[in-house]
């Protein structure tokens, strides 16, 4: 299969290729002329000023900041969210600086602003680009009202190591799903027109490879071969940029020996030359001076030069450009034309945002921030509801029948925590808006006695003195609802864990309440997949809620009591134990893949077993080789069956297209929504390919007994990968395809990609 293959472009942006979501603004002559006119008037100091981002001062404007703004030495402010202060800063920039160039105000608007949506990993569990778009739009409206016009989102780092705290902020382990959802977020943040006052410029981050941080330890080194980088880590960035993302942020991490912030290959070759990006690149926080800490540069001056030469346009609070770039240009070490190009990139985004025409926000005159409209809370509720994944439901315990519940025990440290249910990155989130599971259950069950026992002070507590009361409540209840997991602070940036089991004495709490014999529903609130192999069989039902945000309570109550059925699906593989990490669906096969026949658990090894006593395949002796739950998995309150998978035609040229059709039937007794997923494998290729790759997905809602044909289109370009020479190629040969409800789907078929014809 190999050499005669057809070159194909990189992956497209989303599942629905019929709609062209590209918003490539092309070259706007007016914008370019205005940039040129400004550059002609700018001094070197003013040019460097546009590349300098400073932190706000919590509603204050210190004299030094005011002076620098007046002198045109600041291009952007981050982390100032007081609208009056932002307007005053804009006034200083526009009215009192020589050229009147407005500032760009940035903020981490990651999953909501005041109204908090599920963490991004939870949003990814909805697998619903339209819902994700709507959530980002809502967040943009709330943030823009304060004068914020730039968010540092979406984060599209591939999350295959749940020890890494930032998996909470990513969109899962899969490049295709991440790309589809990132593109949707960009469309939501940026709206139809970047110049609309409610639009935020998106910043796709962290370019690139951050998710591969060794040992899941934040900021750690990454080593990623170029083929892996191009096929796994870069596609979601491409998808976000094709959706129009205005800016890009570098990664803190070292990529193959060259930190991302000084990586010319990434920032210039790939981003500018191959992809044609014309927005600007911002460093991560202080990551330019950190080039010296990495051991790449001697000092801040050399770091500034390395970052500028690589393609970083704006320095996030590193003071390296402000301190050294002007001198570097004056000495001839860095060409002024390159400086001009960097400034032009920043000005282009400011002009596209309409900041010159409308630098200030109108809401700053309001005495108090307005409460979020009901529509925002409704969207947060819907997003939370759709993000929850039902992982176990023995004997159909769920949904609970409200009328049959006389006494309910609500147990655990996360049942009534307005702040913790919001998760990481919620600087502006308002916990007073939160409705907790306990509050929602009390409201939904007015006739029942709902008894709450916290049992543990926090998710990390070891003190079991509250267990006795929990056991008493459980013993006296019709059902026990246990809310466990992780507080918000256990995930997010710089919050990694070496052991991802339930922290503290939580598992012992499960043991204690289970011993009462009362049915147990475990609801997990957490910022990452937890390793739950030792817990899962101890409970009757398990709902995985991530950190669901402001409206966690009503969403969970609706699901527990059957007002809605769970429809979330895992955007990440769940390991059984921490030591299996990294474990993900799109792994390659190895030459010795494990099989049921070759797998031996250490407990089954006889005494004195020899080195030859196992099947010599790729697995750990002390756990199974499969995950606890596969990527894409999730139960509902009904069941679905798949059959009659067919591919037409069964051959196609490399630039052709096939239709993949399958019958899906609701075989249960309730209406439900299934997420139909399509996976492929290229079983023989010039570069070994993953055993499963997600290529498409679609939600179908079916009534009991209803059957529907679901058809997907697969194009040659969808099957392309970076070949040995790193160009994208669709190679001729056999292709396998599976359709089903998770990455372990067994209903498969094959088709063939033909050799390209001379005239095709
Ligand atoms: C550091 C984080 O890595 C980045 O994601 C964030 O946007 C910036 N700080 C700004 O807060």
Q: What is the pLDDT of residues 270-310, one digit of tens each?
A: 999 999 999 999 999 999 999 999 999 999 999 999 999 99
Q: What are 351's two structure tokens?
A: 């002009």
Whether residue 284 has its Cβ less than 6 Å from ligand 1 = yes
Q: For the chain, which residues make up each domain, given as ranges?
A: 34-103+277-370, 389-560, 586-625, 640-753
Whether residue 321 has its Cβ less than 6 Å from ligand 1 = no
Q: Could you tell me which residue, 599 or 760, shows the higher pLDDT?
A: 599
Nearest atom in ligand 1 to the alpha carbon of residue 206 is 5
Residues β-bridged to residue 697: 677
Residue 526 has pLDDT above 60, yes or no: yes
Ligand 1 centre distance from Cα of residue 636 (Å): 36
Residue 24 has pLDDT above 80, yes or no: no
pLDDT digits (tens, 9 = 90+) for 485-524: 999 999 999 999 999 999 999 999 999 999 999 999 999 9
Q: Can 389-560 and 640-753 be said to share one CATH topology? A: no
Query: What pTM was computed for the model?
Result: 0.96
Q: Is the dihedral of CA 358, 360, 363, 369 positive or negative?
A: positive
On whether the CB atoms of residues 295 and 25 are closer than 8 A, the answer is no
CA angle 443, 521, 581 (to 5 degrees): 125
Ligand 1 centre distance from Cα of residue 107 (Å): 9
Give the three-state DSSP class for 440. Answer: helix
What average pLDDT does range 26-36 have in this prediction? 91
Q: Cα–Cα distance between 211 and 561 in angstroms, integer?
A: 37
May I ask the CATH class of domain 389-560?
alpha beta
Does the 34-103+277-370 domain belong in CATH 3.40.50.300?
Answer: no
Which helix (H) or strand (E) segment is 666 a member of?
A: strand 657-666
Whether residue 152 has its Cβ less than 6 Å from ligand 1 = yes
Residue closest by Cα to atom 1 of ligand 1: 285
Ligand 1 centre distance from Cα of residue 208 (Å): 14
Phi-psi region of 467 (alpha: psi -120 to 50; beta: other; left: phi over 0): alpha
Residue closest by Cα to atom 11 of ligand 1: 108
Whether residue 210 has its Cβ less than 6 Å from ligand 1 = no
Residue closest by Cα to atom 3 of ligand 1: 284
May I ask the CATH class of domain 640-753?
mainly beta
Whether residue 493 has its Cβ less than 6 Å from ligand 1 = yes
Residue 197 has pLDDT above 70, yes or no: yes
Q: Is the dihedral of CA 387, 369, 185, 172 positive or negative?
A: negative
Q: How do beta strands 203-207 and 651-652 pair?
A: unpaired
Ligand 1 centre distance from Cα of residue 285 (Å): 6
Catalytic site residue from 108, 128, 278, 284? 284
On whether the CB atoms of residues 271 and 207 are closer than 8 A, the answer is yes
Q: Cα–Cα distance between 222 and 258 in angstroms, integer?
A: 10
> pLDDT band at 403, cuts 50/70/90?
very high
> pLDDT band at 1, cuts 50/70/90?
very low
Whether residue 107 has its Cβ less than 6 Å from ligand 1 = no
On whether the CB atoms of residues 193 and 246 are closer than 8 A, the answer is no
Q: How many CB atoms lie within 10 A of CB 192?
A: 9
Residue 178: the pLDDT is 98
- What CA–CA distances, in Å, run from 562 to 54, 318, 332? 49, 52, 70
Q: What are 365's two structure tokens?
A: 């005159």
Residue of 455, 532, 459, 462 lying closest to 490 (CA atoms): 459
Residue of 507, 502, 542, 504 lying closest to 526 (CA atoms): 502
């Amino acid at each position: 299969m190999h050499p005669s293959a057809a070159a194909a472009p990189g992956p497209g942006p989303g599942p629905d290729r019929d709609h062209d979501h590209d918003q490539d603004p092309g070259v706007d002559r007016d914008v370019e002329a205005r940039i040129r006119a400004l550059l002609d008037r700018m001094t070197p100091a003013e040019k460097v000023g546009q590349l300098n981002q400073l932190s706000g001062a919590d509603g204050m404007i210190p004299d030094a900041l005011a002076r620098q703004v007046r002198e045109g030495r600041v291009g952007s402010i981050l982390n100032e969210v007081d609208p009056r202060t932002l307007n005053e800063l804009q006034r200083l920039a526009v009215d009192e600086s020589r050229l009147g160039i407005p500032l760009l105000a940035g903020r981490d608007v990651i999953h909501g602003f005041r109204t908090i949506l599920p963490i991004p990993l939870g949003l990814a569990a909805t697998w619903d680009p339209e819902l994700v778009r709507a959530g980002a739009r809502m967040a943009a409206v709330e943030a823009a009202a304060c004068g914020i016009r730039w968010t540092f989102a979406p984060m599209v780092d591939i999350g295959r190591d749940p020890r890494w705290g930032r998996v909470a902020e990513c969109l899962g382990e899969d490049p295709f799903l991440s790309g589809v959802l990132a593109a949707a977020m960009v469309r939501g943040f940026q709206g139809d027109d970047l110049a609309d006052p409610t639009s935020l410029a998106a910043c796709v981050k962290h370019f690139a490879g951050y998710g591969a941080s060794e040992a899941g330890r934040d900021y750690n080194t990454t080593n990623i071969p170029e083929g892996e980088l191009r096929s796994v880590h870069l596609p979601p960035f491409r998808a976000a940029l094709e959706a129009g993302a205005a800016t890009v942020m570098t990664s803190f991490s070292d990529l193959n020996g060259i930190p991302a912030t000084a990586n010319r290959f990434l920032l210039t070759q790939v981003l500018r030359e191959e992809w044609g990006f014309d927005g600007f690149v911002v460093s991560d926080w202080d990551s330019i001076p950190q080039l010296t800490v990495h051991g790449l540069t001697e000092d801040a001056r050399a770091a500034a030069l390395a970052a500028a030469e690589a393609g970083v346009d704006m320095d996030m609070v590193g003071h390296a450009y402000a301190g050294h770039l002007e001198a570097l240009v004056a000495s001839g070490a860095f060409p002024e034309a390159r400086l001009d190009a960097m400034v032009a990139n920043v000005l282009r985004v400011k002009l596209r945002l309409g900041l010159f025409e409308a630098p200030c926000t109108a809401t700053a005159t309001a005495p108090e921030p307005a409460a979020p409209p009901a529509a925002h809370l409704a969207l947060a509720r819907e997003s939370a509801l759709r993000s929850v994944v039902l992982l176990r439901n023995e004997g159909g315990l769920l949904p609970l029948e409200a009328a049959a519940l006389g006494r309910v025990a609500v147990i655990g440290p996360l049942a009534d925590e307005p702040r913790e249910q919001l998760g990481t990155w919620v600087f502006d989130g308002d916990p007073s808006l939160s409705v907790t599971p306990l509050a929602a259950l009390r409201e939904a069950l007015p006739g029942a006695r709902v008894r709450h026992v916290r049992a543990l002070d926090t998710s990390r507590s070891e003190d079991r003195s509250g267990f006795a009361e929990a056991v008493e409540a459980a013993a006296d209840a019709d059902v026990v609802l246990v809310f466990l997991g992780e507080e918000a602070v256990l995930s997010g940036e710089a919050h990694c864990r070496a052991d991802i089991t339930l922290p503290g004495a939580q598992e012992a709490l499960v043991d204690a309440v289970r011993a009462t014999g009362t049915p147990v529903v475990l609801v997990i609130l957490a910022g990452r997949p937890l390793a739950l192999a030792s817990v899962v069989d101890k409970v009757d039902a398990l709902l995985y809620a991530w950190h669901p945000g402001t409206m966690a309570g009503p969403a969970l109550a609706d699901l527990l009591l059957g007002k809605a059925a769970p429809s979330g699906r895992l955007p990440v593989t769940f390991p059984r134990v921490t030591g299996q990490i990294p474990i993900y669906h799109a792994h390659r096969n190895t030459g010795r893949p494990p099989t049921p026949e070759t797998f031996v658990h250490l407990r089954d090894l006889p005494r004195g077993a020899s080195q030859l006593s196992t099947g010599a395949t790729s697995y750990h002796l002390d756990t199974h080789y499969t995950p606890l739950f596969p990527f894409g998995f999730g139960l509902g309150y009904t069941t679905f069956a798949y059959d009659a998978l067919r591919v037409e035609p069964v051959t196609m040229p490399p630039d052709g297209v096939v239709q993949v059709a399958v019958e899906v039937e609701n075989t249960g007794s309730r209406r439900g929504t299934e997420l139909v997923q399509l996976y492929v494998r290229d079983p023989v290729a010039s570069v070994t390919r993953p055993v499963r790759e997600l290529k498409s997905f679609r939600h179908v809602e079916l009534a009991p007994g209803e059957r529907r044909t679901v058809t997907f289109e697969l194009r040659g370009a969808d099957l392309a990968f970076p070949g040995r020479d790193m160009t994208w190629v669709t190679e001729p040969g056999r292709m396998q395809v599976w359709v089903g409800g998770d990455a372990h789907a067994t209903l498969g078929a094959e088709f063939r990609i033909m050799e390209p014809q001379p005239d095709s």
